Amino acid sequence: MRNRFLVVLVVVGVLSPTATAALAAQDSSTGGTAPSPSKSKSASKRKHVKLPKILKKIAQCESGGNPRAVSPSGTYRGKYQFDLDTWRSVGGHGDPAKASEYWQDKRALKLYHWRGTAPWPHCGQWAREHGG
Tens digits of residue pLDDT in 21-59: 333 333 333 344 444 444 445 555 568 889 999 999 999
- Residue 56, CA atoms < 13 Å, CB-side half-sphere: 9
pLDDT score, position 131 = 83
pLDDT the model gives residue 25? 37
- Alpha-carbon distance of 39 to 35, in angstroms, equals 7
Q: Is residue 24 part of a domain?
A: no
Instruction: Point out which residues pair with 82 in neighbouring strands.
Output: 77
CATH, residue 83: 1.10.530.10
Residue 77 in 3-state DSSP?
A: strand
In-domain check, residue 70: yes
What is the CA 26 to chain-centroid distance, rounded?
Answer: 16
CB 64 within 8 A of CB 84: no
Q: Is residue 69 part of a domain?
A: yes
